[in-house]
Amino acid sequence: MIGEALKGHLDLLLLTILSEGSAHGYAVIDSLRQRSGGLFDLPEGTIYPALHRLEKQGLLKSRWREDSPRRRRVYELTTKGQQALAKRQDEWKIFSRAVNATVRI
Amino acid sequence: MKKNIIESYLHDFERELRLNDSFNVELLAEIESHLLESVERGLRLGLNQEKAEEEALKRFGTIKVVSSTFEKERITPMQKILLALATLSGLFITYVDSRPTWDDTGITAGVILLLCGLLALIGYQRPWLLALVVGAWIPLYGLFVTHNFASILALIIAFVGAYAGWAFRIGIRKAFKTA
């Protein structure tokens, strides 16, 4: 249930995490898990297709970093990604407000 | 030398990616880096090497789950347009072929072969589906309406065309990469 609900908002979550600084896939997934208190615990491999799609759309860019014990592909938000994030955050506010009002929380 | 389970996973994953025409060296390197990081985390938490590798793979997801997520992400609007075009073309070819005045089977076969080959060549990524939506209508009509069992050949020709176009596209891409 949580996994299915999460899929519709994964882009927003990934863009939010990466808006706070560049990170490699493992760190993004770790952050997602920690911030959600373990609730957003998708199979780790399923995050990469979303990261690659966001990169293809020009919302992220990536580069290989060699300064750690092993090579890591690090993602960061582009200017287009920052604009997309702002738009999605606004949409989320409207959506969550409407849901809360409907279910009377 | 015995492969560890991470190496085996990467080997199988690479094979799956190649089958789905989504293989690229960087993706595999990224996944390897992730898995090794995950194993290190397990070791830091006190697991032994074998358990840490098992845990890393468990957290990463099965090859089927991960590759199907990649597959879903590849279904772009262009892929949907190409599939719709292929389906409509398949239906149109069947309509023309079913007319009593039409008796040029060679042209029908040639059109199916070329259409499937061309659509796979310009970028449709699932040749098997392409072959089905173009080539399945004539056999369906043949089997259920006219009881013409030889019409199954249309589907075989569609598969040949689709996989030929797909193989040609991969070949061109490889040639450009190595050039």
Most B CBs within 10 Å: which of A24, A48, A60, as the mutation test of the B interface?
A48
Average pLDDT over residues B25-54: 92
Q: What is the pLDDT of residues A12-27, one digit of tens each?
A: 999 999 999 999 999 9
Per residue in B123-163, pLDDT (tens digit) is 777 888 899 999 999 999 998 888 888 899 999 999 999 99
Could you tell me if A52 and B27 are in contact, meaning their C-beta atoms sit under 8 angstroms apart? yes
Over 70: is that where the pLDDT of A2 sits?
A: no
CA distance A35 to A17: 10
CB of A61 within 8 Å of a chain B CB? The answer is no
Contact B62, B108 (CB under 8 A): no
**pLDDT-based confidence at B122, cuts 50/70/90?**
confident
**Residues of chain A above pLDDT 90, percent:** 66
The mean of the pLDDT values for chain B is 88
A33 touches chain B (CB under 8 A): no
Report the distance separating Cα B26 and Cα B10, nearest Å: 13
Rounded CA-CA distance A83/B55 in Å is 38
CB atoms within 10 A of CB A80: 13
Residue of B nearest to A26 (CA): B34
Q: What is the pTM of this model?
A: 0.70
| One-letter identity of residue B111 | V
Highest mean pLDDT among A71-85, A90-104, B135-149 belongs to A71-85
Could you tell me the two tokens for A44?
A: 């780790």
Residue B2 has pLDDT above 70, yes or no: no
Q: Using the predicted structure, report yes or no on whether residue B3 has a pLDDT greater than 70.
A: no
Which residues have a Cβ under 8 Å from the Cβ of A66 and sit 6 or more positions away? none
Span B53-106, pLDDT tens digits: 999 999 999 998 888 888 777 777 788 888 999 999 999 999 999 988 888 889
